[in-house]
Amino acid sequence: MDLLHNPRELQAHADRLRAAGHRIALVPTMGALHPGHLALIAAARRHAECVVVSIFVNPTQFNAAADLAAYPRCLEADLAVCREAGVDVVFAPQENDLYGPGSQTIVEVTELQKPLCGATRPGHFRGVASVVTRLLIAAKPHVAVFGEKDFQQLALVRRLVRDLGFDVEVVGVPTVREPDGLALSSRNVHLTPRRRQQARVLVESLRAAEAAVCAGECRRDALLALAEREVDKAPDARIDYVELRDPESLAPAPAQLVGPTLLALAVHFPRRGDAGETVRLIDNRVLPVGQMQEEAP
């Protein structure tokens, strides 16, 4: 496994691979790798001979300096995970490698960055778009792999690739879940056992909404009310948002749903041992509106 730090080194490496006829898949991460990342790496391997994993805690997507400082950095452990997973190249740049002195260039996907998580995290998706653009230029991949748990990020990257004409396929990988259905996240460990149990309401609200759709419910407000009632069963949960949106444009869903529709949730729980701090969990599901009727005999 090669460990590279400089974007020029990675570009040269990619040029050699492409000249030899090999396909390259990029898995962008911020490190602290867990089984969810391993699913992305496995998907990348199915699409390409060479798998590149980037490990970079991107400062431009953090809203608070304290959050950036507290983000886990465990490069040696991450490198061990990558070796075990058969990764070919790890790209681990420093901030100055991607954002040189006096850097002035940012990238924005102006509309997709506004709703959902973007509404309460100003500048976050501008940082995501800026770093993903730099990583695509450095790695020159044929395929870039992202998790569907961060659905807004996936939609934004797909729009960025289309708008800027990157010759890369963006692959979404289904959310990896814990045995009880909770979406796998490094944030889950910050919950007390009691609140960890309560956090199941996220996936239970998605399941309830999907069951309602499969039974014929297509009214936006009824489905939102159902999802919110499920979340409210957790005494310590505080809803950030529960929304129904178009899976591609992220535009608000109409009053009567007419096709597959994204149900996205963000919920806060008090953080273990930190008075006043919270753990923000997200989850989503594309509800099969209209599909059940089409598949019926």
Supply the residues annotated as catalytic: 37
Instruction: Decide if 266 contacts 289 (C-beta within 8 A).
Output: no
DSSP string, 176-220: PB-TTSPBP-GGGGGS-HHHHHHTTHHHHHHHHHHHHHHTT--BH
Among 55, 40, 47, CA closest to 85: 40
Place of tokens 């099969």: 288
Q: What distance in Å separates the CA atoms of residue 66 and residue 140, rounded to the nearest whole number?
A: 33
HEC string for 59-123? HHHCCCHHHHHHCCCCHHHHHHHHHHHCCCEEECCCHHHHCCCCCCCCCCCCCCCCCCHHHHCCC
Measured between alpha carbons, how far is residue 83 from residues 9, 138, 143 in Å? 20, 21, 20
Among 40, 26, 1, 2, CA closest to 134: 26
Q: Is 28 exposed, middle or buried (0-12, 13-18, 19+ CB in 10 A)?
A: buried
DSSP state of 252: B
- Which pairing describes strands 89-91 and 50-55: parallel, antiparallel, or unpaired? parallel
